[in-house]
C-alpha cells in the first residue's frame, strides 16, 4: 500500500516560485543524480532564462564547446521511474558484458508505493505508471523521488491543451487541436475513474488521495517528459519491453529541451542511460534534445508549446471512407486480395510544411506537399468510371495510377478536391481566430503560433497546388523550357502580397516547383468552352465557333446567366463533343470525306472517347438517369429541331466537316447529345475559381460566410510524346 505523504487535491510539490529557487531545485536534483552515480559533463551546466526555462547549457567559458560524441548526461537506472518500479522488477537475464551474476544488475524498486497485483493486471502498464507517479507525489519530502518531483511543473505552469480554460480555450476553437483535447480529456477521465474504482473495490488504503487533478497532472507529466522503454534495453530484454504503452521518466535528462533535427544519440547501458551529442555545440549555447519529427500539433498536445517555422511541421487531414464510397470499396478489395496483411490503424493523411526535410528527395512535387496516402485516397474518391477500372491495389496502397493515357484528369480532379479542403481549412481557422485580440498569456501565445502555422501550411500548399492547376489551364506555354516555366512561375508568384511569406518560404516554394518533377507531365489539358475552338485545326475554328455559338445563343435560357462563348458545363461541352466526334467519324468513314483533318491529339482523343464510352444505338432512345438533366435536354432537343428546320444554314455550314445533318442519326441527334452529356460529365474537372484570393484577402472570414465557386473545364489529354512536359 501507499504510505505517507499529503492528500492535497492539487499538485504543488513544495517548489520555489522564484527564478533562483527553481534553478536551485534543479541544482539539487543534479547533486542527487550524481550522488547515485550519475554524471553531468564538466563542459555543461544547468541554466535558466524566460524563453527556455531550465535547460542544459555549454559553459560560457568553455572555449572548445562540446565536441561530437561527448556524453553530456548520464542518469542511473536506479533513478528512472516506470512501470518496472511499480512492480519491483528485477532483471533475470544478464547482458553479454555483465559478470553473469544477476546481483550485478540494477533492480527497480517501488520505494514505498505498492499496488495490489490485481490492480496492475486490470489497468495495465500505462495506467499503473500514472498512478505510481501520483503515489510518489503523495509521499512528499519522504519520497525517494522527491528531489525530482519538486522540479516538475505545477498545473499552473502546464500549457498543454488540457489546461486551457475560459478565454484561453477560445484560442483553440476551430482547430483540430480543440477536438483532440476533448477526446483526450474523455479518454483520460475514463481511465482514471476505472483505476480508482478498481482500487476502491480492492480496499486500497489512501485511495481518496488519488484525485482527478493529481491523475491529470501525472498523466500530463508522463506524456510530456517520458521516454520510450527502449532506454532500458541495456538491462531488460526485448520480450519484457513492449514499445507501446510503456513510458520511462528520466530525472535530469528530461531537463533538455526539444530542438528539431538536433543530433543526439541515446546509450542504453547496464547501469545508466547516457545522452551523447553528435554535433559541435559552441560555448554559451543550449544543448538540445530531439523528441523526434514532431509537428506543432503534437508538440502542443503533449508538451504545451510549438515552434514558429518548425521545419518538420505538417497537419493531419481528416478523411473518412463512408460505407459505399469508392474508397471504402477499394479498401475492401485490398483486404480481400491481401487477407493476411494487418489493417492499417491510421492512414497518413498529411499536408507537409513546404520545407519538410524528411522526404524522399526523388518524390514528386505534389507528394512533397501531400503525403502519398492522402493523395492516393483522394485519387480514388475523384476517379470517374473509366479511371476506377484502372485502380491499383497493393498491400501498401490503393490508388489510381496517373501514367496511363487519359489518367492525368484524375490528378487534376484530385488536386482540385484537395484545394477545396485547403480553402475550407484556411477559412475555418481565419474566421474562428481571435482577430481583434492580442495574446495575453503564454497559452494564448502558443495557441496563436499553432493557428498561424496551420494556416501557413495550407496556404503554401495551395500556392504549389495552384501552380500545377495553372499549368493545366495554360494553352500554348511549354514549361519544359526554362524561359516558359520561369515566366509562368513569376506571374504565379507575383499574385502573392508583399510580405505574405518570408523570403525563405518563397525561396522554398520556388525550389520545390523548379526542383521536383510534377505528377502532371503535360500542360494545357483543361479547357473552358471558349478555349476549345483553339484546339481545332485553323480551318475548322471559325465554322465550328459560329455554328455552336448560334445554337447555344438560342439555348441561352438553359445556360443562363452565362454567355454562349462561356458555356462551360455539360451542355456547352456536350455540343462540342458531338461536333468533334461527328468530324472524327466522318473523316474516318472514308478517306475522300473532308479535306480538313483533326489534329493527331484530337484524333486520338476522339478514338479514346468512343472506346471508353461506346456509341449510342440507333434503335433505342437514350434517357438520362437524372430527371432534371433529361428535362433540360428534352427541351434542348425541341429547340434544335426547330432550328434545323428554320435555320438550316447553321448546320449546313459545317456539313463539310460533320457529314449529313438531315437524317435522324445526325451529329446533334438526341442519342448523340445524351452520349456526349454523359461523357462530358465524366471528363470534366471542376476547379475552384481563383483559390489564391483566399491567401491574398487579408480580411478573410471577418465579414461572414465566404463563397467558394468552381469553374468547369473539359479535359483533353496530351499525347505521351507531345511536346512540353511537366517540371
Q: Please give the mean pLDDT across all residues of the chain.
A: 87
Centre a 10 Å sphere on the Cβ of residue 92 and count the other Cβ atoms it contains.
Answer: 10
**50 vs 613 pLDDT, higher one:** 613
- Per-residue pLDDT, 703: 46
pLDDT tens digit sequence for 422-432: 999 998 888 87
What crossing angle do the helices spanning 296-303 and 212-225 adopt, rounded to 10°?
A: 140
Phi, psi of 381 (to 5 degrees): -65, -25
**Strands 350-352, 314-316: parallel, antiparallel or unpaired by DSSP?**
antiparallel
Give me the pLDDT at residue 478, please.
65
Res. 724 pLDDT band, cuts 50 70 90: very low
Q: State residue 53's pLDDT score.
A: 87
Cα–Cα dist 367/373, whole Å: 9
For 181-226, write each residue's pLDDT tens digit. 999 999 999 999 999 999 999 999 999 999 999 999 999 999 999 9
Output the pTM of the full model.
0.87
Helices (H), 260-354: 296-303, 326-337
Burial of 112 (0-12, 13-18, 19+ CB in 10 A): middle
Q: What digits encode the pLDDT tens for the residues 143-168?
A: 999 999 999 999 889 999 999 999 99
Strand ranges, E, within 412-542:
526-527
Instruction: Enumerate residues 6+ apart whose C-beta is below 8 A from 610.
Output: 581, 584
CA 403 to chain CA mean position, Å: 24
Give the pLDDT confidence score for residue 347 in this predicted structure: 83
Question: From CA 260, how far away is CA 356, in angstroms rounded?
Answer: 11
Q: Give the Cα separation of 136 and 109 in Å (integer).
A: 12
At residue 373, the 3 state secondary structure works out as helix
Residue 716 has pLDDT above 90, yes or no: yes
Q: Would you give the distance in Å from CA 114 to the centre of its chain? A: 44
Q: What pLDDT, on the 0 to 100 scale, is given for residue 43?
A: 92
Are 454 and 296 in contact, with CB atoms under 8 Å apart? yes
Do residues 268 and 233 touch, judged by C-beta distance below 8 A?
A: yes
Q: What is the pLDDT of residues 228-286, one digit of tens each?
A: 888 888 888 877 776 566 899 999 999 998 888 889 988 988 899 999 999 999 999 99
Tens-digit pLDDT profile for residues 83-129: 999 999 987 654 444 444 445 556 799 999 999 999 999 999 999 99
pLDDT confidence tier of residue 7, bands split at 50, 70 and 90: very low
What is residue 5's predicted lDDT score, i.e. its pLDDT? 35
Q: What is the rounded average pLDDT of the residues 543-566?
A: 75
Calculate the CA 461 to chain-centre distance. Answer: 10
Per residue in 443-455, pLDDT tens? 999 999 999 999 9
Supply φ then ψ for residue 710, to 5 degrees: -125, 160
Confidence of residue 4 (pLDDT cuts 50, 70, 90): very low
Tens digits of residue pLDDT in 483-517 = 778 888 998 999 998 889 999 999 999 999 999 99
Instruction: Please report, rounded to a whole number, the percentage of residues in the chain having pLDDT higher than 70.
Output: 88
| Protein fold of 19-292 | set domain protein methyltransferase, domain 1 (3.90.1410)
Dihedral sign, Cα of residue 713, residue 717, residue 723, residue 725: positive
Q: What are phi and psi of 47, to 5 degrees?
A: -145, 165
Confidence grade of residue 79 (pLDDT, cut at 50, 70, 90): very high
For residue 392, list its beta bridge partners. Answer: 399
Cis, peptide link before residue 12, omega less than 30° from 0:
no
Q: In this structure, are residues 264 and 278 in contact, taking their beta carbons and an 8 Å threshold?
A: yes
Q: Contact at 8 Å (CB) between 82 and 247? A: yes
> 3-class SS at 674?
helix
Question: Domain extents for the chain?
Answer: 19-292, 315-473+477-522, 526-687
What pLDDT score was predicted for residue 242? 66
93 in Cβ contact with 239 (< 8 Å): no
DSSP character for 484? H
CB 218: neighbour CB atoms within 10 A? 23
Give mean pLDDT, residues 40-68: 89
482 pLDDT band (50/70/90 cuts)? low
**Nearest residue to 56 via CA among 75, 37, 83, 84:** 75
Amino acid at each position: 500500500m501507499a504510505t505517507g505523504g499529503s492528500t492535497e487535491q492539487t499538485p504543488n510539490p513544495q517548489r520555489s516560485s522564484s527564478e533562483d529557487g527553481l534553478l536551485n531545485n534543479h541544482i539539487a536534483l543534479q547533486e542527487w543524480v550524481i550522488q547515485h552515480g550519475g554524471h553531468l559533463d564538466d563542459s555543461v551546466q544547468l541554466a535558466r532564462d524566460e524563453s527556455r526555462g531550465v535547460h542544459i547549457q555549454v559553459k560560457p567559458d568553455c572555449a572548445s564547446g562540446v565536441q561530437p560524441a561527448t556524453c553530456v548526461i548520464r542518469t542511473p537506472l536506479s533513478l528512472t521511474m516506470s512501470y518496472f518500479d511499480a512492480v519491483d522488477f528485477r532483471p533475470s537475464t544478464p547482458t553479454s558484458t555483465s559478470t553473469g551474476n544477476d546481483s550485478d544488475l540494477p533492480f527497480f524498486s517501488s520505494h514505498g508505493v505498492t499496488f495490489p497485483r490485481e490492480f496492475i493486471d486490470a489497468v495495465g502498464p500505462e495506467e499503473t505508471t500514472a498512478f505510481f507517479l501520483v503515489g510518489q507525489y503523495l509521499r512528499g519530502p519522504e519520497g525517494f523521488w522527491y528531489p525530482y518531483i519538486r522540479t516538475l511543473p505545477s498545473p499552473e505552469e502546464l500549457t498543454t491543451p488540457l489546461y486551457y480554460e475560459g478565454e484561453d480555450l477560445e484560442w483553440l476553437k476551430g482547430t483540430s487541436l480543440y477536438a483532440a483535447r476533448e477526446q483526450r480529456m474523455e479518454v483520460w477521465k475514463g481511465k482514471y475513474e476505472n483505476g480508482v474504482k478498481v482500487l476502491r473495490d480492492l480496499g486500497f488504503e489512501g485511495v481518496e488521495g488519488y484525485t482527478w487533478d493529481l491523475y491529470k497532472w501525472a498523466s500530463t507529466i508522463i506524456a510530456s517528459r517520458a521516454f520510450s522503454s527502449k532506454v532500458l534495453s541495456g538491462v531488460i530484454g526485448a520480450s519484457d519491453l513492449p514499445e507501446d504503452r510503456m513510458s520511462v521518466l528520466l530525472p535530469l535528462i528530461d531537463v533538455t529541451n526539444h530542438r528539431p533535427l538536433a543530433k543526439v544519440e541515446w546509450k542504453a547501458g547496464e547501469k545508466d542511460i547516457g545522452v551523447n551529442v553528435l554535433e559541435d555545440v559552441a560555448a554559451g549555447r543550449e544543448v538540445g534534445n530531439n523528441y523526434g519529427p514532431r509537428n506543432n500539433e503534437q508538440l502542443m498536445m503533449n508538451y504545451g508549446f510549438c515552434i514558429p517555422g518548425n521545419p518538420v511541421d505538417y497537419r493531419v487531414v481528416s478523411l473518412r471512407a463512408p460505407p459505399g464510397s469508392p474508397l471504402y470499396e477499394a479498401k475492401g478489395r485490398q483486404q480481400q486480395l491481401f487477407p493476411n496483411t494487418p489493417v492499417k490503424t491510421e492512414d497518413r493523411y498529411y499536408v507537409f510544411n513546404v520545407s519538410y526535410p524528411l522526404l524522399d528527395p526523388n518524390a514528386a512535387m505534389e507528394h512533397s506537399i501531400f503525403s502519398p496516402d492522402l493523395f492516393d485516397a483522394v485519387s480514388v474518391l475523384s476517379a470517374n468510371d473509366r479511371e476506377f477500372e484502372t485502380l491499383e491495389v497493393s498491400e501498401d496502397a490503393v490508388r489510381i495510377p496517373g501514367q496511363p493515357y487519359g489518367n492525368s484528369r484524375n490528378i487534376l480532379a484530385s488536386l482540385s478536391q484537395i484545394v477545396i479542403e485547403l480553402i475550407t481549412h484556411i477559412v475555418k481557422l481565419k474566421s474562428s481566430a481571435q482577430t481583434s485580440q492580442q495574446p495575453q498569456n503564454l497559452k494564448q501565445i502558443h495557441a496563436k503560433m499553432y493557428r498561424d502555422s496551420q494556416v501557413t501550411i495550407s496556404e503554401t500548399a495551395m500556392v504549389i497546388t495552384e501552380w500545377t492547376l495553372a499549368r493545366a489551364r495554360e494553352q500554348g506555354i511549354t514549361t519544359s523550357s526554362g524561359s516558359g516555366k520561369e515566366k509562368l512561375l513569376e506571374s504565379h508568384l507575383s499574385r502573392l502580397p508583399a510580405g505574405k511569406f518570408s523570403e525563405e518560404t518563397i525561396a522554398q516554394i520556388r525550389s520545390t516547383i523548379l526542383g521536383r518533377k510534377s505528377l502532371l507531365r503535360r500542360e494545357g489539358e483543361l479547357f473552358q468552352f471558349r478555349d476549345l475552338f483553339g484546339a481545332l485545326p485553323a480551318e475548322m475554328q471559325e465554322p465550328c465557333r459560329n455554328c455552336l455559338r448560334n445554337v447555344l445563343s438560342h439555348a441561352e435560357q438553359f445556360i443562363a446567366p452565362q454567355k454562349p462563348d462561356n458555356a462551360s458545363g455539360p451542355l456547352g461541352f456536350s455540343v462540342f463533343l458531338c461536333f468533334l466526334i461527328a468530324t472524327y467519324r466522318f473523316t474516318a468513314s472514308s478517306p475522300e470525306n473532308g479535306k480538313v483533318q483533326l489534329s493527331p491529339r484530337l484524333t486520338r482523343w476522339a478514338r479514346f472517347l468512343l472506346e471508353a464510352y461506346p456509341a449510342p444505338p440507333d434503335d433505342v432512345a437514350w434517357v438520362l438517369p437524372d430527371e432534371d438533366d433529361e428535362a433540360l435536354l428534352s427541351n434542348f432537343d425541341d429547340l434544335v429541331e426547330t432550328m434545323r428546320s428554320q435555320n438550316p444554314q447553321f448546320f449546313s455550314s459545317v456539313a463539310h466537316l460533320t457529314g449529313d445533318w438531315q437524317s435522324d442519326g445526325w451529329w446533334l441527334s438526341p442519342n448523340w447529345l445524351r452520349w456526349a452529356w454523359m461523357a462530358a460529365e465524366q471528363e470534366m474537372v471542376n476547379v475552384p475559381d481563383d483559390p489564391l484570393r483566399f491567401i491574398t484577402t487579408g480580411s478573410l472570414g471577418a465579414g461572414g460566410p465566404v463563397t467558394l465557386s468552381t469553374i468547369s473545364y473539359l479535359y483533353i489529354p496530351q499525347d505521351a510524346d507531345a511536346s512540353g512536359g511537366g517540371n
